[in-house]
Amino acid sequence: MSEYRPVPLEWTRLAPNEALTRSRAFLEQMRARRTVRAFSREPVPVELIRNAIEVAGTAPSGAHQQPWTFVAVSDLELKRRIREAAEAAEREFYDRRASPDWLEALRPLGTDFVKEHITDAPWVIAVFEQAYGLGGDRKRKHYYARESVGIAVGFLLAALHNAGLVALTHTPAPMSFLRRVLARPPNERAFCLIPIGHPAEGAVVPDLRRKPLDEIAVFEPGAGAAARGRL
């Protein structure tokens, strides 16, 4: 077992005005992020994908176990096999397993079992949660693995958007086919599938509203005054 070995923190304090400028610019950038289902087949350089995955790898994780695997796929035949399996699972979901309430919730998104985005997008990343670690014949328990992978996916989506790319978080149910098609080890469980690329010409997105700040955040009394004092 590794011992605790602290090292100096690398951190640069920003001037208050620069911090606020950066914060506002990033907020505006992320406000423009949208989930896209219509992709151009225009190639995307592999370095953009590698860099985005490295950003995802900087996410915090339970006990720093980094319980994630990102499988990046550009091969058309492999994407075709993924799409075929995904559509079979999704057809079963839409035709038989989804409740009327669930289908009603999905209606504004305009989705169905046809998943052309998997083969149209130049890249898809299959994200896997490592339910436990493997070390020879011994299993190592992973702590807060699912939560950790969810945080890493958030980092990944922000990095892709920052690079001028669009993406879709696709969670076919069940997703066990991904481990089979991609020949992943038994400790990995599929978390989501993310097609990535540029939007198709004339791409459209649902007319949706994001909740405003006062519907998603609670600031305790005095928090605003304290924050203003720090700035």
pLDDT digits (tens, 9 = 90+) for 54-75: 999 999 999 999 999 999 999 9
Residues 6+ apart with CB under 8 A from 199: 36, 38, 39, 40, 166
In a domain, 9, yes or no: no
The answer on pLDDT for 2 being more than 80 is no
Across the chain, mean pLDDT equals 91
Helix residue ranges per DSSP H, 166-207 = 176-181
pLDDT value at residue 229 = 47
In a domain, 177, yes or no: yes
Q: How far is it, in rounded angstroms, from Cα 189 to Cα 186? A: 8
In a domain, 10, yes or no: no
What six digits make up the tokens of 121?
């997008």
CB 89 within 8 A of CB 96: no
> Which of helix, strand or coil describes residue 212?
coil
DSSP code, position 39? B
- The strand pairing partners of 141, in sequence order, are 132
Number of domains in the chain: 1
> Which of helix, strand or coil describes residue 159?
helix
In a domain, 210, yes or no: no
DSSP code, position 148? H
Amino acid identity at 185 = P
The answer on pLDDT for 98 being more than 50 is yes
Q: How far is it, in rounded angstroms, from Cα 38 to Cα 47? A: 22
Q: How far is it, in rounded angstroms, from Cα 49 to Cα 164? A: 12
The answer on pLDDT for 108 being more than 50 is yes
**Average pLDDT score over residue span 80-107:** 82
> Which of helix, strand or coil describes residue 135?
strand
User: In this predicted structure, which of 53-67, 78-92, 193-207, 217-231 has the lowest mean pLDDT?
Assistant: 217-231
In a domain, 191, yes or no: yes
What six digits make up the tokens of 145?
């693995």
CATH number of the domain to which 185 belongs: 3.40.109.10
Listing DSSP states for 47-70 in one string gives HHHHHHHHHHTTS--GGG---EEE
In a domain, 213, yes or no: no
In a domain, 212, yes or no: no
| Each residue's pLDDT tens digit, 16-46 | 999 999 999 999 999 999 999 999 999 999 9
Residue length, the chain?
231
Q: Which domain holds residue 79?
A: 35-201
In a domain, 227, yes or no: no
Amino acid identity at 26 = F
pLDDT value at residue 225 = 54
- Furthest-apart CA atoms within the chain: distance in Å: 58
Q: Around Cβ 53, how many Cβ atoms within 10 Å?
A: 20
